[in-house]
Structure formats: structure tokens, C-alpha cells
């Protein structure tokens, strides 16, 4: 007779195993934190960085800058067709800020790792002399040898 066939795990069982792996959970946490971080950076760029940049450039609002290819026609209910390069500039600036922060984060983690690698491991303190002597005696007994001077008379 042949061996009984192993039962295939159900799709839900396989999915549970997949989700239970640590890397998947870590990835999910990273994606969630990344999305929240994206909102923070978007707020920083749109509300803190771009207004002074626009002021320095004579009140230019980058989010409103666009190249109109076809104007809106309310009579035909046609929407405007435009290349919104100002929004692209804001997005590019947001990316550069995120990339800079991630670079600084990785640089900091690498510095900590280098510091940990450069630190020599702690050397345990030397055992007390009695323990060293007892260890030597134990090792000699294991081998079955005792020095001739240590043997009692008559052996």
C-alpha cells in the first residue's frame, strides 16, 4: 500500500501562515507608519515650506501653476485640460524631504551599528583562584592522571 496523501492546507490556512510570519507584520507596520509620515510631510510642504517660497517669488502659488491645453467650456460641459506642473513641483519637493529624512534615519542607524560593532565584547572577570584550582583538579581526574607527587604513598 502507498502512503496516505497529505491533506493540503486550505487557502485560509496558508494565508494565516503567511500573515503570521514576522516580516509581513513588520512590513504592514512600516506601510501604515509611512502613510502617516506622508501626511505629515505633505502638510509640512504645503503649509510651511511652500508659502515662504511663494512669497520669495513674488507671491507665486505653485499649487495653482498649470499649462492649460484646453480651456473649460461650460456650454459643452467640458472640463479644463491642463498640465499641473506646480502640483508636480510640490510633489517633487515633498519627495526630496522624505528622501532626506529617510537618508538621515538610515545614516543614524548605520552609525549606531558601527559603534556597536566597534565596541569590544565585555570580558568576563577572572574566576577566583579556588575555582581555577578546582577546575584543574577536575580536568586531571577526567583524564585519569594525577601527578606522581600528588599520589598518596603506597600506590
Return the CATH number at 87. 1.10.1200.120
Calculate what percentage of the chain has a pLDDT beyond 70.
88
Is residue 147 in a domain?
Answer: no
Rounded distance, CA 85 to CA 83, Å? 6
How do residues 5-40 score in pLDDT, each as one tens digit?
566 778 888 888 777 776 777 888 888 988 888 888
Query: 47 is in which domain, residue-wise?
Result: 11-118
Q: Tell me the average pLDDT across 136-142.
A: 88
pTM of the entire predicted model: 0.50
Cα–Cα–Cα angle for 24, 29, 30, rounded to 5 degrees: 95
Q: Tell me the average pLDDT across 88-112.
A: 86
Length of the chain: 155
How do residues 59-87 score in pLDDT, each as one tens digit?
777 778 888 888 888 888 888 889 999 88
Amino acid at each position: 500500500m502507498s502512503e496516505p496523501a497529505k491533506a493540503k492546507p486550505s487557502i485560509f490556512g496558508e494565508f494565516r501562515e503567511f500573515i503570521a510570519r514576522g516580516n509581513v507584520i513588520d512590513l504592514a507596520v512600516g506601510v501604515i507608519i509611512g502613510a502617516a509620515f506622508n501626511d505629515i510631510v505633505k502638510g509640512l510642504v504645503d503649509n510651511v515650506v511652500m508659502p515662504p517660497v511663494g512669497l520669495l517669488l513674488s507671491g507665486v502659488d505653485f499649487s495653482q501653476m498649470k499649462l492649460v491645453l484646453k480651456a473649460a467650456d461650460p456650454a459643452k460641459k467640458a472640463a479644463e485640460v491642463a498640465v499641473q506642473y506646480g502640483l508636480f513641483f510640490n510633489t517633487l519637493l515633498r519627495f526630496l524631504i522624505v528622501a532626506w529624512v529617510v537618508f538621515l534615519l538610515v545614516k543614524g542607524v548605520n552609525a549606531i551599528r558601527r559603534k556597536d560593532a566597534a565596541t569590544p565584547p565585555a570580558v568576563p572577570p577572572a574566576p577566583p583562584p579556588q575555582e581555577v584550582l578546582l577546575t584543574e583538579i577536575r580536568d586531571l581526574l577526567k583524564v585519569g592522571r594525577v601527578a606522581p607527587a600528588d599520589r598518596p604513598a603506597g600506590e
